[in-house]
Amino acid sequence: MSDRADDEVRVWLVERTYSDDEQNLIILTYATPDGKQYYRKERALTSFTDIRDTTAAVDAGPGNLGTVDDPDLQDQYAAEAQRMQEVHDPNDVI
């Protein structure tokens, strides 16, 4: 049984980058297994005691998803999302 709301979409971690503009900001990009949609989270690394796990997957509302228009980026996101899905449970800490 899933605890995910019916309209939410499961997306998988495909990219973790550090912002060039802001210090101590991590950008997490999650994507659908077909690579056509993405969800972006930004996290400030404020202190060593601020523990927030990054999981292999999250559930996002459709209104929070962006469209990946670049075919090469779609392929990249699809490959990584599928790899993550095969190797990890959604709640695995990455």
Question: In this structure, is residue 94 part of a structural domain?
Answer: no
Residue 61 sits at φ, ψ, to 5 deg, of -70, 145
Burial of 49 (0-12, 13-18, 19+ CB in 10 A): exposed
Question: In this structure, is residue 93 part of a structural domain?
Answer: no
pLDDT band for position 43 (50/70/90)? confident
Average pLDDT over residues 41-70: 86
Question: In this structure, is residue 4 part of a structural domain?
Answer: no
Question: In this structure, is residue 25 part of a structural domain?
Answer: yes
Asked if residue 1 has pLDDT above 70, the reply is: no
Question: In this structure, is residue 78 part of a structural domain?
Answer: yes
What pTM was computed for the model?
A: 0.84
pLDDT band for position 18 (50/70/90)? confident
Query: Would you state the structure tokens that stand for residue 4, as one six-digit string?
Result: 């995910």
Query: What is the per-residue pLDDT for 20?
Result: 72
